[in-house]
């Protein structure tokens, strides 16, 4: 799996401040998926580094702010170090898989619409401003958000799980103990998927099904109502596959070592009505208890994860409290262009953090973070040296752990040597040094003398 990070959006009407805040949300959310460590970091670099977007207050346009450009370069290089790092949750976050099928996109229409009846066919790429009012509902994905956000907002680590893959790869669901499913906005590709789900439940899984059977696509000609199968919806076939009645009352049902929980509610209601979202949370909690598992859901307003030396944290709004999350230690703030060393970080409601924990850096000379690509560090008796590569015109910052305070620093770029004794800042408390220089795609050579 590759995650896409775009530092700006397809809609060019936003400010850099807005782009940055949403980019950081996307970045931190993706880093809270510890099994994914590959990222598409700049799908269109030119529109990021050379594009112009509205200024705050609407007074003309501007190119990317210098500090944001430096921050982006730091983050891009940090992302390249995520592969193979051990992950550890710092918060007790319930892991929940939200099943999602390809058919969720096929249903962005209506069964009774035809090409003859309307000249418009939604392909999933139009922005809201390009659609007429009669088609706006095609952009409303409340059923998915209704299942995800009430759980996420109370501290559950919710992850999309590809339903179609459950029938393609043996053991695909084994990493999950709680799954949430609805067929009110998507449909299963084949009946075999229910065999995989039934086996997973019987072996101890907790499946929460949410749906009231009102979706128009239940009545289209498909496998669940053709041939020998006479089910009103794929939900009924799922229940039958679990050995249950096709018509169930709300509640929890033991199935083998696991449990099915049924909430007869359209999932979009959980995104609209607070009481419906609370019903979903109560259903998940009751289902976990019915399954007699060791799982518990301690509801909280955020989550934090350690990946190697990195700490990733987020505190959500609209949650159980407004209490901040505090992190202590010798920490480098990787979302600050100056790469400051701090002893305490407070993540408030609606905020996120990406930090480097210096206690995990090891000994000797260590690169902590840089707004350049630094492939190799060469140590010698009198110091160390490295070569940094980066986009032209972007200010770079690089923080290193050092066993000794540097005396001087020599820079060489484009064949010109410049001795810059003030181009670094030593932090005695963390034994780290911060270098500043202009990036150069041909490389900047840096020689550090003790």
Give residue-wise pLDDT tens across range 335-361: 999 999 999 999 999 999 999 999 999
CB 241 within 8 A of CB 207: no
Contacts 24+ apart (CB under 8 A), 11-14: 11/127, 12/51, 12/53, 13/54, 14/53, 14/54
Q: Exposed, middle or buried, 441 (CB in 10 Å: 0-12/13-18/19+)?
A: exposed
pLDDT in tens, 290-334: 876 678 899 999 999 999 999 999 999 999 999 999 999 999 999
pLDDT digits (tens, 9 = 90+) for 94-144: 999 999 999 988 776 666 665 554 555 555 555 555 666 666 666 778 999
CA nearest neighbour of 396 among 343, 446, 447: 446
Taking the C-alpha atoms of residue 196 and residue 217, their distance in angstroms, rounded to an integer, is 23
Which phi-psi region, left, alpha or beta, contains residue 136 (left: φ > 0; alpha: ψ -120 to 50)?
alpha
CB atoms within 10 A of CB 187: 22
> Model's pTM, two decimal places?
0.90
For the chain, state the CA radius of gyration: 26
Find tokens 């795609």 and name the residue: 441
Three-state secondary structure string covering 118-157: CCCCCCCCCCHHHCCHHHHHHHCCHHHHHHHHHHHCCCCE
* Least confident residue range of 34-48, 121-135, 255-269: 121-135
Within 8 A by CB and 6+ apart from 235, the residues are 183, 209, 211, 213
Q: How confident is the model at residue 200 (pLDDT cuts 50, 70, 90)?
A: very high
Mean pLDDT, residues 244-266: 96
Query: What element of type H or E holds 367?
Result: strand 366-370
Q: Which helix (H) or strand (E) holds 307?
A: strand 302-307
Cα angle at 294 between 289 and 297, to 5 degrees?
A: 65
The pLDDT of residue 177 is above 80: yes
C-alpha 63 chain-centroid distance: 27
What pLDDT is stored for residue 421 in this prediction?
Answer: 43
The answer to whether 158 touches 96, Cβ cutoff 8 Å, is: yes
């Amino acid at each position: 799996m590759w995650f896409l990070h775009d530092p700006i959006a397809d809609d060019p009407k936003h400010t850099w401040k807005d782009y940055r805040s949403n980019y950081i949300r996307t970045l931190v959310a993706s880093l809270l998926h510890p099994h994914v460590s590959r990222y598409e970091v700049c799908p269109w670099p030119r529109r990021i580094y050379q594009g112009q977007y509205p200024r705050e207050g609407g007074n003309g346009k501007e190119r990317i702010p210098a500090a944001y450009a430096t921050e982006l370069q730091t983050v891009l290089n940090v992302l390249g170090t995520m592969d193979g790092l051990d992950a550890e949750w710092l918060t007790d976050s319930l892991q929940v898989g939200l099943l999602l099928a390809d058919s969720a996109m096929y249903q962005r229409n209506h069964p009774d619409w035809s090409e003859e009846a309307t000249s418009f066919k939604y392909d999933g790429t139009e922005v809201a401003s390009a659609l007429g009012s009669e088609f706006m509902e095609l952009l409303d994905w409340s059923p998915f958000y209704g299942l995800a956000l009430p759980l996420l907002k109370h501290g559950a680590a919710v992850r999309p799980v590809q339903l179609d893959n459950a029938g393609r790869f043996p053991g695909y669901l084994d990493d999950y103990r709680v799954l949430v499913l609805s067929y009110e906005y998507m449909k299963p590709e084949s009946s075999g998927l229910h065999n995989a789900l039934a086996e997973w439940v019987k072996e101890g899984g907790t499946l929460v099904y949410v749906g009231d059977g009102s979706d128009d696509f239940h009545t289209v000609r498909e496998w669940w109502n053709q041939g020998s199968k006479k089910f009103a919806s794929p939900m009924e076939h799922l229940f039958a596959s679990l050995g249950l009645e096709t018509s169930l009352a709300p509640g929890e049902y033991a199935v083998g070592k696991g449990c099915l929980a049924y909430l007869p509610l359209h999932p979009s209601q959980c995104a609209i009505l607070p009481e419906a979202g609370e019903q979903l949370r109560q259903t998940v909690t009751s289902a976990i208890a019915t399954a007699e598992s060791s799982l518990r859901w301690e509801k909280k307003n955020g989550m934090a994860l350690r990946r190697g030396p990195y700490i990733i944290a987020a505190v959500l709004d609209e949650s159980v409290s407004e209490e901040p999350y505090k992190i202590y230690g010798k920490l480098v703030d990787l979302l600050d262009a100056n790469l400051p060393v701090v002893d305490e970080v407070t993540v408030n409601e609606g905020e996120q953090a990406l930090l480097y924990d210096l206690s995990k850096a090891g000994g000797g000379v260590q690169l902590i973070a840089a707004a350049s690509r630094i492939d190799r560090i060469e140590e010698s008796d009198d110091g160390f040296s490295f070569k940094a590569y980066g986009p032209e015109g972007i200010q770079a910052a690089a923080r290193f752990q050092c066993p000794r305070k540097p005396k001087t620093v020599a820079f060489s770029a484009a064949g010109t040597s410049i001795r810059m004794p003030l181009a670094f800042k030593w932090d005695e408390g963390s034994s780290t040094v911060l270098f500043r220089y202009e990036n150069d795609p041909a490389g900047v050579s840096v020689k550090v003398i003790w």
